[in-house]
Amino acid sequence: MLSVIANVVWGWKNILKLRDRVRKHVMWKLGNGKSVDAWYDQWNQYGPLCDYVTSRDLYDARLHSTYKVSDLIREGKWCWPIEWEDKFPIFKQLKIPNLNDNVEDRCIWRAGNGIEQNFEVRQVWNDLRCNGENVNWSSVIWFAQCIPKHVFVMWLAV
């Protein structure tokens, strides 16, 4: 039982190491704004607002770190302190999104080439893996009818 727990912990630790690499690829398309974290999610072209606003700023403004984008808009206006536009110049440039209560927020993947698309494991793998050079002997070892155990030993030997 202990080895299973250790393996799970090891796996999660390694997944968490990828956070910074993955973060720049995950974007949100706003629908109703009720699922997207206002401070920590990437929902605008400038990046997460937590890159600009500290938890102390939120506390002083009586805003919560758990706010969603929809919580920051009241009657078509931002509901943060007006002085934030001087303190954080990027806030002057932030356009108020048009939220639609009938449309859910969507998480999308920004591929390495900058194209935004639906999340696909294949694309995530291609964007995150380290691409080495193709070697001329790879087709000798890796082919459709290969026996994985034999291929692995051969690959180590070469």
For 30-87, the pLDDT digits (tens) are 999 999 999 999 999 999 999 999 999 999 999 999 999 999 999 999 999 999 999 9
Burial class (CB in 10 A: 0-12, 13-18, 19+), 107: middle
Output 131 or 73, whichever has higher pLDDT: 73
Choose among 42, 49, 50: nearest CA to 23. 42
The model carries a pTM of: 0.71
How much is the CA Rg of the chain, to the nearest whole Å?
A: 22
Which pLDDT does position 106 carry in this prediction?
94
Tell me the pLDDT band of 18, cut-offs 50, 70 and 90: confident
The mean pLDDT value of the chain amounts to 88
CB atoms within 10 A of CB 28: 18
Which pLDDT does position 138 carry in this prediction?
76
Choose among 72, 21, 63: nearest CA to 44. 72
The Cα-based distances of 101 to 34, 40, 81, 125 in angstroms read 9, 22, 25, 34
